[in-house]
Amino acid sequence: MTRRTPLLLLLALIAGAQGVVLIGYAVYDIVESFRVGITGPAEVSNLGALLGLIAITAAFGAALVWIAVGWVQSRSWARSPFVVAQLVIGFLGYELSQSAGSVERLVGQVAMVVAVIGIVMAFMPSVRRALAEDEAPH
């Protein structure tokens, strides 16, 4: 029987929330492209770039939702992709935190803090014990 610790559920909440936000952002990009069109510098504002951004953002979001399910089920495989995703989100957060806009800076700072907290939690002893049960032969 898998053991669900509060930290595993919190890790699932982090991954799930990040995934839903990214999927929501992909949907937002779709809506905005129909509402105002594709705007910005020509080298990055074209249909191919928009479709690529939407596909990558939605896929990353879907992967985080899948990772959240793994955390809920106490699956040991969830840790590695979660840590990689937190590293990516942390680096993106750092870039956003260097923006001129205050909203972008705040979002970047929050993303960095959540990513660091997620990485630390993923290696907490209670999480390691719960995941070790998944790896034990049955």
Within a domain: 1: no
User: In the 3-class helix/strand/coil scheme, how is 74-124 assigned residue by residue?
Assistant: CCHHHHHHHHHHHHHHHHHHHHHHCCCCHHHHHHHHHHHHHHHHHHHHHCC
pLDDT tens by residue, 27-70 = 999 998 888 888 777 776 888 888 999 999 999 999 999 999 99
Within a domain: 52: yes
pLDDT mean over 127-131: 92
Q: How many domains does the chain have?
A: 1
Residue numbers of the domain that contains 119: 6-135
Within a domain: 11: yes
Q: Rounded to two decimals, what is the model's pTM?
A: 0.89
Within a domain: 13: yes
